[in-house]
Amino acid sequence: MSDQIAVFLRGCPRVKFFNYFIHFTAAPTESQLVKQPSLECVGIHAFPCAIVRNVWKHLDFHFNLLAGPFLPALKRVVLHGNWQEIMADERFERFRNGLTRKGCVIEVSGEGTKPGCEHL
């Protein structure tokens, strides 16, 4: 598993939305990141992957990226796939609280919700 997020974001500084499979993508380290001033929406899919051994450590890296200072324009995170088990875990609240403090909302895709990130 390698970091494709930092590579993509460095190469596309004006991108407004970005979707990826969280369990198949390594989170970038802070040294790999640059501030992404245009990114407003990130869609993440929770399709499971047996490669990830410590799921919560892996998720924390991604959640810290989304809630951190490198994505100042981020306003929406859209969750695709089955997030029920993850969202039921008390550790998910840290992530939700970090995004809320940033002014960002979390949406679960499905019937009756706004379209995903590609419909800004």
Q: Are 8 and 18 in contact (CB under 8 A)?
A: yes
Mean pLDDT taken over the chain: 84
Mean pLDDT of 66-75: 93
Q: Which residues contact 48 (CB under 8 A, 6 or more apart)?
A: 23
DSSP helix/strand/coil, 111: coil
**pLDDT value, residue 2:** 67
Cβ neighbors of 85 (< 8 A, separation 6 or more) are none
Q: What is the pLDDT of residues 12-59, one digit of tens each?
A: 889 999 998 887 888 787 777 788 899 999 999 987 666 667 778 888
Going from N- to C-terminal start, the domains of the chain cover 5-110
pLDDT in tens, 94-106: 999 999 999 999 9
* pTM as predicted: 0.85
